[in-house]
Structure 1
Amino acid sequence: MSILARYFQLENEAQELRRKMQTLEDTPEFKREKEFIDKLRRLMDEYNKTNGEVISALAPESSIENTESKRRRKRKLKVYRNPETGEVVETRGGNQKTLKAWKEQYGAETVDSWLIEEK
């Protein structure tokens, strides 16, 4: 498809979207919600409040849940012991230098079998 043909196709799609938006904007439900949001924004500006502050004021329990769920849980500490050298590696992730070297040398499956403790 040529660039010009693609351009005209996108132009037609944009016109169709504008028509759908206009139809939606003409509904009473949309007008009512739009009026509510506009009034709420003016009120927030008047009192210098952010979205988060308003949500916390209206539903304090949900704002606590949101902050707790956003935190990532701490990874478990894994302890590996190389049976040939007796060397011990403690890591919370698979990106540890010595562990990566072992996996290259002995293979990931073998090194995973060396896991002696998981805290």
Structure 2
Amino acid sequence: MQAEIEFENKLRNLLSEYDKNLEDVIFTLSSFEELQNSTVVEGNFLKKGRMLRTYQNPYTGQIVKTVACNKRLLRCWKDEFGGDVVKRWLV
């Protein structure tokens, strides 16, 4: 319990030092997590101007994020289910 109180006090001091609040921290962390899970993205476009596409396999729930269709798992899906079917899995 003491460690939690100490952590909260340090966090509040840090927030006040940078003039931030908890909502700012949550937004920053969620944005950082999204970037880690995809690549360097601005909106849905990579810096090169190519659109990031997300496919989700409805049978397994697996998700693939890609700019081109060269991801190994995506190619396997296209071989197994057909390209037209996999195109409908675009999220």
Q: TM-score, normalised by structure 2?
A: 0.47
Whichever structure has more helix as a proportion of its residues is 1
Relative to the length of structure 1, the TM-score reads 0.36
Give the greater-gyration-radius structure (CA). 1
